[in-house]
Amino acid sequence: MKYKDWLDEWLDSYIKPTTKERTFERYSQTIKAHISPKLGDDELDDLTPMVLQRYINELSTEGNTKTGKGLSSSFVNGVISIIKSSLKTAVTLGLKQVYDMDKLRRPKQEGKKIECFTASEQKKIENAVMGSKKNKLFGIVLCLYTGLRIGELLALTWSDIDFNKGLLTVSKTCHDGSGGGMTRSTDKPKTRTSNRVIPIPKQLLPKLKEIKRKSSSEYVVSDEKRVVYVRSYQKLFANLLKKLDIPHRGFHALRHTFATRAIECGMDVKTLSEILGHKNPTVTLNTYTHSLMEHKSEMMNRLGKLLQ
């Protein structure tokens, strides 16, 4: 059986029914653009570790049409995961004799640079949002003080907020559709631990109540009665930064800024991990090592004052 035929069957029978729509779309696009053109005509039993390792090495070094560089290590690792999962299922079903994909060597994962806003930049953003007549901009401040991802923010409904207890429930996320035209899909959060309840700082509640009174939408962030799309909200944020003469950073920098400020305020890693929806505190520690080191230095300097 040719690999491309098996990949079609694997996607339809094993991935589509068991994963989120966005995951299925990502797998389909990766297979169509990168895996099938190079490996699709190979028979399943011809896909040896050596053949696949050569292919992986090519992916890491081949010219990218946009940057002239090879594909990122994180993307290549994603391709490897698809190959390993699809071939493991093929072996389980008896379509391939041996599973020996554990012999593949993954490219070294590049450390992601954590970008966040300085305290002065954050204050400029907050002042601009609070002074604006556009209520949908308040989602930016909400992210700065809850650590929400953009999909979680735009999927947030008024029913997710308990004003009496001051709690916000994250139980869904959204993303723009990949087809033509503007469409939006709502799905389960990124991971199981992304389902979480976040205490809302009491200073935000009066503004949230005010926005709710004026809102005609079920969504906390809306454009009158219309939903707000991820790409359009990212563009809105980028335009705000440009207007404020703040260097551009992606929307996710708001989440990193929340985590950094939380560490600076002395929040313990376990609590921060739960608010961010991380799998465990180790993920938080590894992600915010730099911020934590600055916090540790400050604490140690405070301790050192005893010497005086």
Backbone angles phi, psi at 21, to 5 degrees: -55, -40
CATH architecture of the domain with residue range 119-298: Orthogonal Bundle (1.10)
Please tell me the number of Cα atoms within 13 Å of 84 on its side-chain side: 15
- What's the pLDDT score for residue 74? 84
- What's the pLDDT score for residue 63? 46
Query: Cα–Cα distances in Å, from 133 out to 34, 128, 214, 297?
Result: 46, 10, 12, 41
Where do we find the tokens 């002395």? 266
Mean pLDDT of 9-16: 94
Helices (H) and strands (E) in the chain, counts: 14, 7
Give the lowest-confidence range in 60-64, 100-104, 263-267. Answer: 60-64
Instruction: Answer whether residue 180 shows pLDDT above 60.
Output: no
- What's the pLDDT score for residue 256? 94
* All structural domains of the chain with their residue ranges: 3-103, 119-298
pLDDT, tens digit, for every residue of 69-82? 678 888 899 999 99
Q: How confident is the model at residue 95 (pLDDT cuts 50, 70, 90)?
A: very high
H or E element at residue 259: helix 253-264
Q: Considering the chain, what is the average pLDDT of its residues? A: 89
- What's the pLDDT score for residue 67? 46
- What's the pLDDT score for residue 181? 55
For 272, the token pair is 């921060």
- What's the pLDDT score for residue 3? 95
Q: Which residue has the higher pLDDT, 179 or 31?
A: 31
- What's the pLDDT score for residue 69? 60
Type of residue at 87:
L
Q: List, as one string, the DSSP characters of 147-215.
A: ---HHHHHH-BGGGEETTTTEEEE--EEEE-SSSS--EEEE--SSGGG-EEEEPPGGGHHHHHHHHHH-
Residue 259 CA, distance from chain mean position: 15
Measured CA to CA, the distance from residue 154 to residue 133 in angstroms comes to 19
Q: How confident is the model at residue 110 (pLDDT cuts 50, 70, 90)?
A: low
Q: Which residue has the higher pLDDT, 285 or 156?
A: 156
pTM above 0.85, yes or no: no
- What's the pLDDT score for residue 132? 92
- What's the pLDDT score for residue 19? 86
pLDDT, tens digit, for every residue of 229-251? 999 999 999 999 999 999 999 99
Give the lowest-confidence range in 9-23, 29-43, 47-61, 101-115. Answer: 101-115
Measured CA to CA, the distance from residue 258 to residue 63 in angstroms comes to 37
Measured CA to CA, the distance from residue 191 to residue 187 in angstroms comes to 11
C-beta atoms surrounding 14 within 10 Å: 14
- What's the pLDDT score for residue 64? 45
- Does the 3-103 domain belong in CATH 1.10.150.120? no
Of the candidates 86, 77, 69, the one whose C-alpha atom is nearest the C-alpha of residue 104 is 77
For 61, the token pair is 């070094």
Instruction: Answer whether residue 27 shows pLDDT above 80.
Output: yes
The proportion of the chain whose per-residue pLDDT surpasses 90, expressed as a percent, equals 66
Helices 253-264 and 119-130: angle between axes, nearest 10 degrees: 120
Instruction: Answer whether residue 65 shows pLDDT above 60.
Output: no
- What's the pLDDT score for residue 166? 96
For 198, the token pair is 């976040």
